[in-house]
Amino acid sequence: MNREEQLLAAMVEVVDTLVDDFDLIDFLHHLCDRCNELLDVSAVGVMLADPNGKLQLIAASDEHTRLLELFALQTEEGPCVECYRAGTTRLNIDLRSPSQVAAFPRFAERARQGDFVITHTLPMRLRQQVVGALNLFDTRDQELSDPDARVAQALADVATIAVLQHRTLVHANIERAQMQAALSSRVVIEQAKGILAERWQTTPDEAFGVLRRHARTHQLRLTVLCRQVIDGSDVVRTMQGP
């Protein structure tokens, strides 16, 4: 594929994030490959913030880059960490320049040990929400051109959309599961109320009051107690009717 086709393919891949069984990790590793192809850089890393706002390494194009990114996280030092905190892009950072790496000298030294001389970092952000950072490394002394910088940001934006879409789907699935659990619990409670109301020849409301008091007194979950009632457990004999 030529460059335009590769870029289009990267954009199309984000459509796959709209399905429930989308694999975010696999997508981000594909993103690393796309960055290598389209931007002609030596290595790529992707960091995402966990629910507590702490950066975690999610994908890297090679083992050395993975170790370098882990070092950045361990020391809380590096352009990727700064990029996430500030939400700003930094391009063409010369890892040999004391003035450019003054804020992260240990990271720069570690990167140079891996023969990296240039790095770039772009925030993965949508409006004011920053979810992580895309990090590019090069072993050659070549700067990222303006067109390449725009492509890099487009890829970072694609990754951001994928991450946010994935989180939306996960959240929606959790909400659906919670709602289904609530509905199932409601059915169990209604059944138990009916059983006790018939047994005691009382109203469902009075039976429900007994269930709640017994559950609180014996530190049982209400739905657990109701299932025991439905299953014919001896627990009914220990309950005091209204």
Q: Is the per-residue pLDDT at 25 higher than 70?
A: yes
Lowest mean pLDDT among 18-27, 54-63, 69-78: 18-27
172 confidence band (pLDDT: 50, 70, 90) = confident
Lowest mean pLDDT among 6-15, 68-77, 179-188, 205-214: 6-15
13 confidence band (pLDDT: 50, 70, 90) = low
From the list 160, 109, 124, 141, the residue with the least C-alpha distance to 41 is 141
Q: What is the mean pLDDT of the chain?
A: 85
Residue 10: predicted pLDDT: 66
From the list 63, 108, 62, the residue with the least C-alpha distance to 81 is 108
43 confidence band (pLDDT: 50, 70, 90) = very high
Residue 18: predicted pLDDT: 53
Domains annotated for the chain, with CATH where assigned, are: 3-169 (3.30.450.40), 182-238 (1.10.10.10)
Q: Is the per-residue pLDDT at 201 higher than 80?
A: yes
Mean pLDDT of 129-153: 92
**What is d(CA 234, CA 232) in angstroms, rounded to the nearest whole number?**
7
The string over 94-121, giving b where at least 16 C-beta atoms fall within 10 Å of a residue's C-beta and e elsewhere, is ebeeeebbeebeebbebbeebebbbbbb
Q: Is the per-residue pLDDT at 15 higher than 80?
A: no
